[in-house]
Amino acid sequence: MRTLNNYTENLQHRLTEYCRTGIPDFLPGTNDKGMKHYRRLSFNIFNNTLEQAYPITHEYLDESEWLELVNGFFSGHDCQTPLLWQMPYEFYTYVEENNLKIKEKYPFLPELLYFEWLEIEVHTMEDIDIEEQYIPDKQFNDTVPLINPEHRLVQLNYPLHLKPIKEAIRHPGQYFVLIFRDPDEGNVHFINLSVVFVFALEQLSQQDLTIQQLAEMISEKFGVEDAEKIKKHLKSFFEDLFTQQAMLGYKHKK
């Protein structure tokens, strides 16, 4: 049974709309000073949270461009997450999905936001338990590399993980990045990958494969005849991943 009158509901909506847009709305029984405080405080919650989440973007844009973007998001996007720390992800998708003028000036803006969000996402993503037994060591024959599951494998159009933003935007191209969280300290690391190693990691995410099998698949896919040489490169690659804790060890093939 509905207990709230339309009148009261409307008062609540109007106060929220005023907070989101800053457009004065003379609500009955309110005082102007208090109303302004709510507008200031609620905007600051959005602005401060987004500044903290996107420090590179915030520094890159002019203050007026930044504020216009935040204002547009606050007034135009209905935030769905009850968790404030996840709200910046909605900011990224808002910029990605909407036809904003600022993207004409900065076509890399959605990717920059995505890149900054990824660091938060990998740092805070829920722990993924490893149920299988594995051998925490560098190399075993007939076993399968076990990649640290707390990772994201992404393709970027700018080398944002390698260079400062002003330089990165001058080098558009195809870049592959493994972003992972080390199990000890929980810090986030970035590894630049070649397309061959991306292929290897993608295959491993789909099925259990030994290094020998991976080498054979790469040989076939990329038309490289010397599978032994590929195997050697793969061993070295996985050793490096293990050292950096992007790989946990080896497990027995199912």
Partner 1 sequence: MNTKVGIGLRREFVDELAQQQQLHPDFIELAPENWMKMGGYWKKKLRQVTEKYPVTSHGLSLSLGSPENLDYDFIKDLKKFLDENDVQIFSEHLSYTKTNNAHIYDLLPIPFREDAVKHVASRIREAQELLGRKIAIENVSYYTPVDAEMDEADFLTNIAEEADCNILLDVNNVYVNAFNHNYDARKFISRLPLEKVAYIHMAGHEQVDSDLIIDTHSEAIIDPVYRLFEYTVNRMPEVPVLLERDFNFPELNELQQEMNNLRNITEKAWRKENANAK
Binding site for partner 1 (CB under 8 A): 3-5, 8-9, 11-13, 15-17, 19-20, 27-31, 33-35, 37-38, 41-42, 45-46, 49, 74, 77-87, 123-128, 150, 181, 185-187
Q: How far is CA 44 from the centre of its chain?
A: 23
Q: How far is the CB of 47 from partner 1 (least distance, A)?
A: 12
Pick 89 or 199: Cβ nearer partner 1: 89
Q: CA angle, corner 118, sides to 80 and 113, nearest 5?
A: 75
Q: How far is the CB of 187 from partner 1 (least distance, A)?
A: 8
Pick 75 or 213: Cβ nearer partner 1: 75
User: How many Cβ atoms from other residues are within 10 Å of residue 158's Cβ?
Assistant: 21
Pick 41 or 67: Cβ nearer partner 1: 41
143 within 8 A of 210, measured Cβ to Cβ: yes
Q: Give the residues across from 176 on adjacent strands.
A: 155, 193
244 within 8 A of 233, measured Cβ to Cβ: no
Pick 13 or 138: Cβ nearer partner 1: 13
Pick 84 or 195: Cβ nearer partner 1: 84
Q: How far is the CB of 88 from partner 1 (least distance, A)?
A: 12
Q: How far is the CB of 53 from partner 1 (least distance, A)?
A: 13
Pick 212 or 245: Cβ nearer partner 1: 245
Pick 123 or 232: Cβ nearer partner 1: 123
Q: Give the residues across from 175 on adjacent strands.
A: 156
Q: How far is the CB of 29 from partner 1 (least distance, A)?
A: 4
Q: How far is the CB of 134 from partner 1 (least distance, A)?
A: 19
Q: How far is the CB of 168 from partner 1 (least distance, A)?
A: 26
